[in-house]
Chain A
Amino acid sequence: MKFTFKGAAGIAAAMALCAPVMATAQDLVMSIGSRGYGGMVERNIKAFEAANPGTSVEWLKVSDVPGDSRKLYVTGLTAKSPTPDVFAIDVIWAGEFAQRGWLEPLSDYLGADTIAAYNPSFLSAATVDGKVFAAPLYVDGTHLFYRSDLLEKYNIPVPKTWEEVIAASKTVMEGEGNPQLYGFVSMWAKIEGLFMNWLSFTGANGATFFDADGNVAVNSPEAIAATQTMVDMIYKDKIVPDSILTMKPDDARTLFQQGRAVFMMVQDFVYAPLSAADSPVAGKFDFTRNPYFEGHPDGHSTAMGGWLLAVNANSEHKEAAAKLVEYFTSYDAQLAAALDENRAPGRTDVYAAPEMEKAALLKKLGNDFAVGVVRPSATTGNLYPRISETMQTEITNALHREKTVEQALNDAETEINSILGK
């Protein structure tokens, strides 16, 4: 009894001693997937802690599947939880989260020149009412991967346009005579990736989601023509397998890696598995910017994705949290991530760094981002998930020939206008 009392008194005394230290110390919680940013998270946290004595950062590892981590965040943010202080968000959530008041505006903490260095199309996705709510961490986009050995065999130059891709696919498929070989694969299942694909195709024909006056323009003649090409690739040109309608990115990657496709349009994460030592297509493939349609060499056809860092609006350490965001997105940290972990920087000035000459792969990826197209998530905010769902449904209707392309896109326009309350 006596012993226990002494013990409790000792703990109380120790706590009293610690209390002043605890009050000044800042314990930040940062939430990001364990794979997404590779080994950079731990490196950056260590360096940040060393540079900011008294501040410690706890890494809360969340799922790398965006839908799962989104549900986790939404639950916590709805309950006004002060943690995590800093968290990684998918580019398409930025507008919605900011509109809901869950994010602290970073414009108040970061300098104008820091913000000016960030990738502009990414920044636009995180800007609401002129305020920046998240800082681009890394960027990824879709690219056209192709079998360089097959194109060489048939003396076909790397295609620049969709017309050339279709023609090249036919030549190779006929030449090889292998019924198991397809011309083009991608992720056309009813997923977010399908909407990204559609933006690539329509952007390649000079179409935009909203027209210059801000009206929904998903059924513009350019968009209809581009969507028709997608449909024709399945049923008329027959260079795409029917199964593309159930493919997710990794399904397409598997087929391409087995040597069963000439072209593939997916995100850059496939580069590592495709070039692995045991990959059947290692050394036999390359990638280029997504094709455009004839007459639209400036068409924005690289569907962009990626992650940003944001500060929780209910965080108790906003200042320190913003500093952490600034550190992760600083020139040096981003350059290190590019060189050591192949993560495409979220700021544009890093691409000009002399060291980037060594990172030829990343530089090439970055070039394609110049013709990037982001999803309309910033302007539509918390209505974006519903708009994406509508687009996925109507594009699928067209691809399955349940509706004509024109009818599907007209229906999409009507539905989106009603969602937006227009």
Chain B
Amino acid sequence: MNRTMNLEQRTALTGIGFVTPTVIIIALILIYPIIQSVVLSFGQSSIDGSEPYHFVGLQHYAKLMGDSQFWNALGVTFTFTALSIPLELALGIGLALLMNESFKGKGLARLAILFPWALPTALNTLIWRWMYNSDYGLFNAVALQSGLADRPINFLGDTSLAMGSMVVVAVWKTSSFMALIILAGLQSIPKDLFEAGRMDGMTKWQEFRQITLPLLKGPILVALIIRSMDALRTFELPFNLTDGGPVNATESLSLYAYKVIFDFLDFNFGAAVVVVQFLVIFAMSLIYVIALRNKD
């Protein structure tokens, strides 16, 4: 009896020993900057040291509430997330079902589907920027020569088209990531469930609705959490594709924070933007986590 207790204790101790270094590293590189950002956002200081740090309370947050560029950035971020995630999910499920079937050239198809995701976002974005170009871009050349358009379409320079153009790039790139996670879920569904379904005379659609989809709930939620967090802090995409333009139509929160911090060198106000963004993402994750828990 005593021996088992000791073994348990020892196991626990070993576990703690293994976890401690990781916890320390996470605390240093993750938690410290978060605390530092919060501290910065409640104070005023100058980066050249001419003005030492002093507490100003909610001053930066009050300014934020009246800052139209911040509200615009928040709106852009939500719009981008709300438009891209459902499309990515739908396309991701479709691709996963496709990849799960056995057909000739399956390996090649899987490779092709994963390719956009494997490329760095910045590189992807530059390729797309070139294709969207209204003077020498691929899309306009096709549209003009086939007679679909009688004048060049300015995909990235038109305020009403830029967001859509950006969503297309995001969907193209990250649907395959969704597909990958969902595919893993698909392959863990026991085959005998489908056999049983077929014996009961289920159609393909009924199989999908009543077996596949309910059992995919977990993987789908995981994919949604990861992708939503990505979308809520999207930076490389607007930075490289449009630089937030035209007229801030694609300026995401991250891009706005970047400009405040690195162009205006206003670290305190920039920290306030970052803290709000942190809270938004935190709230979003909480909603998902609660949804996940209810499932179990």
Contacts and interface: CB of A to CB of B under 8 A. Distances in A.
B154 interface: yes
A382 B244 contact: no
B121 to A, nearest CB: 19
- Determine which residue in B49, B158, B245 has the highest number of CB atoms from chain A within 10 A of its CB, and name it: B245
A186 to B, nearest CB: 14
Contacts of B133: 243, 246
Contacts of B152: 241-243
B100 interface: no
Contact of A246 (B69, B245, B248, B263): B245
Contacts of B263: 67, 385, 389
A166 to B, nearest CB: 20
B37 interface: no
A80 interface: yes
A71 B247 contact: no
A102 interface: yes
Nearest to A390: B69
Interface stretch (A37-45, A289-297, A299-307, A396-404): A396-404
A190 B243 contact: yes
B130 to A, nearest CB: 11
Nearest to B259: A389
Given A382-B265, A385-B263, A245 B47 contact: no
A100 interface: yes
Interface of chain A, main secondary structure: helix
Contact of A190 (B47, B49, B247): B247
Interface in B138-158: 152, 154, 156-158
A400 B242 CA distance: 15
A393 interface: yes
> How extensive is the interface on chain B, given as a class?
20 to 34
A386 B159 CA distance: 22
A101 B51 CA distance: 12
A224 interface: no
A400 B159 contact: yes
Interface in B104-163: 133-136, 152, 154, 156-159
B296 interface: no
A233 interface: no
Contacts of B248: 393
B246 A245 contact: yes
Contacts of A393: 69, 247-248
Given A74-B265, A245-B157, A102 B48 contact: yes
Given A242-B134, A243-B134, A255-B135, A74 B246 contact: no
B36 interface: no
A350 interface: no
A102 B49 CA distance: 11
Nearest to B140: A243
A312 to B, nearest CB: 13
B264 interface: yes
Interface in B32-51: 46-50
B246 A101 contact: no
Given A241-B134, A382-B265, A389-B259, A74 B47 contact: yes
A167 interface: no
A130 to B, nearest CB: 20
A155 interface: no
B205 interface: no
Contacts of A400: 159, 246-247
Contact of A402 (B47, B244, B247): B247
Contacts of B18: none
A245 B161 CA distance: 13
B262 interface: yes
A385 B156 contact: no
Contacts of B265: 74, 382, 385
Contact of B154 (A71, A242, A396): A242
Contact of A71 (B69, B262, B264): B262
A78 interface: yes
B156 A100 contact: no
A396 B49 contact: no
Contacts of A246: 133-134, 154, 156-157, 242, 245-246
5 contacts: A71-B262, A74-B265, A245-B157, A245-B245, A386-B264
Instruction: Kindly list the 3 A-B residue pairs having the minimum CB-CB distance in the complex, ordered from nearest.
Output: A246-B157, A243-B134, A245-B157
Given A189-B243, A242-B134, A251-B135, 20 more contacts: A67-B263, A71-B262, A100-B48, A189-B157, A190-B243, A190-B245, A191-B243, A243-B133, A243-B134, A245-B246, A246-B134, A246-B154, A246-B156, A246-B246, A255-B135, A382-B265, A386-B264, A389-B263, A396-B246, A396-B247
